[in-house]
Amino acid sequence: MVWAREMSSKSTSDTAEPTPAVGGEVRQQADWQQLYEEKVRTPEQAIATIKRGDKVFIGSGAAEPQILVKALIESSGRLADTRIMHIMTLGVAPYTEEKFTDQFRHNAFFIGANTRQAVAEGRADYTPVFLSEIPALFRSGQIPIDVALIQVSPPDKHGFCSYGVSTDVVKSAAESATRVIAEINPQMPRALGDCFINVDDIDILIPVDVPLLYSHFEKADEVARRIGRNIASLIEDGSTLQMGIGTIPDSVLHYLTDKKDLGIHTEMFSDGFMELVEKNVINNVRKTTHPGKTVASFCIGSKKLYDYVDDNPSIEFHPTEYTNDPFIICKNDKMCAINSAIEVDLSGQVCADSLGSMFYSGIGGQVDFIRGAARSKGGKPIIALPSTAKNDTLSRIVVNLKEGAGVVTTRGDVHYVVTEWGVAYLHGKNIRERAMALINIAHPKFRKKLLEGAKKLNYVYKDQLLTPEEVAYPEELETTMTTKDGAELIIRPIRPTDEEMLSDMFYDLSDQTIINRFFSMLKSMPHRKLQQFCCIDYTQEMSLAAITDDGPRSKIVGLGSYHLNPATHKAEIAFLVADAWQGKGIGTFMMRSLVKVAKARNIKGFTAEVLRDNLAMIALMHKSGVPTKSELVEGSYLFTMDF
């Protein structure tokens, strides 16, 4: 039998020539072809070698050997207590049907849609385990495999078949199994990397010619797009990404078109990343391990994706004990790991594999990549989830996880949590700070209830305030500025979670700056006063904060505010700039920003009271860009600006 692909020039790529299997040597073409012919069987003949009580592994994802699975079911009448195991597959899983209870028992290392009901009803099992650690269970014999049913590409001229779109745990399963039965499919891409098996190491070969399983995903809704935009704001040029499949990862990719030199080191990828490769946004040139290469363990998507993977030297597939090893992951500088969750409690615990006590998916590679990214230089471990479920009737930010819910990522591992309402940074934060940060990114309709729950648990101050439920954070007012000496600052509306930063700023102020702003020498700024500055309604009040960066070490260095007088429909303004940042244009920028905001909201003008010796603030009053009047009253200037 001669395969059209085996002799093609692309199958001899110099960039990723397969290494021999353990204990073997590269065979001459004539040797492996003869061996190949001797091992060819029909699917029925192959399945006939499976005995009652055997432990059978089935290949993963889009590489599920569909013909062999069908033959296995057709042979169910002679089988009993056959143990079947795999991570998620895209195909059907008839062996989980109730009528096959005596013939088959499935063990899921990750629960997919095709096995979820069987696990929930107790007709199948679930093993919670890190994806990086599954291969060791196979290799050590703790989970023995009698037969591995897999699907691979046709052999190349050296007799090596590629695991194609799924190397993941398939490689370790095949290398650990007593017997390997492989579908040889010319429609399976010849992926490159550490993803080959020699004909010599396959016991039975089943020639097939069938399309791979494909996956089609829903278009992103507005919630997914907002989450994607928030995540994209965290990703810097030169970052290396890990992400899964679905509307949120695709939305992240959509908002990365202005980034440069991104890389990929991931458990899996789908179609979304191809567009960024074509635009040279993803080029892997700044990766610190495997530069120039996209590294993954499997992919799921369309035929276009599978064709792109075929013999592509820019993509390497490796087994999960490598791709998901936190110590390998962290070698990539600026590693950004993006993973999903079902719910997150106010202490930061992440449930990702169950709905209460009902197992829904699996641990997968979440913890592997969260821990790897946390140890990366400049890395960012990110948990992403919509703020609500069931048509906005349930909050996914919760006071306590549901009864029976499992913690996949611990509160000690969590760094960033992202919803459509914003980003909460939790690492190194105390419980009060965590609770407030998470409440701030929950859906507004649930924030009051969450705050009440936090108070009952003594997580937060008993008098803690929140932004009113009906008021939306004015994201459109977020911008940046460059100071006179070239420093980049973020200018955005104040948030309830900024209280700690505002406190730090206050206690760094000189006595004179405090007197200029508050007209007396304040010795303290306790919580009850601070929160009045941070918890505003963005309509009657507005405060813009100047922040050094948007990360865990950010500082507030300036504050510009107005408070509306409903009687006159004018607003009183006030400014505060940290001593070390005065004279750099922050006040002027904020003044003009507040004027713009006020005009858009039909406010008639500003008023201000300034001490007569506060020369810097007096000068600022004349930089608003609108006509300004002043009069001296009892040692202070009263300014009026009419729009």
Residues involved in catalysis: 267
∠ CA 352-354-360, rounded to 5°: 100
Contacts of 596 (CB under 8 A, 6+ apart): none
CA contacts within 13 A on the Cβ side of 87: 28
For residues 281 and 309, give the distance between their C-alpha atoms in angstroms, rounded to a whole number. Answer: 18
Find, among 618, 620, 616, the residue nearest to 636 by Cα. 618
**Beta bridge partner(s), residue 345:** 398
Phi/psi region, residue 634 (left: phi>0; alpha: psi -120 to 50; beta: rest), is left
∠ CA 593-596-600, rounded to 5°: 140
Q: How many CB atoms are located within 10 Å of the residue 476 CB?
A: 10
Work out the angle between the directed axes of helices 444-456 and 431-441 (0-180°, nearest 10): 160
Which SS3 state, helix, strand or coil, does residue 2 take?
Answer: coil
Say which residue the tokens 């100047």 belong to: 546
20-48 in b/e form (b: 16+ CB < 10 A) is bbeeeebbeeeebbebbeebebebeebbe
Asked if 293 and 287 touch (Cβ cutoff 8 Å), the reply is: yes
And the tokens for 181? 């039965």
**Beta bridge partner(s), residue 417:** 383, 424
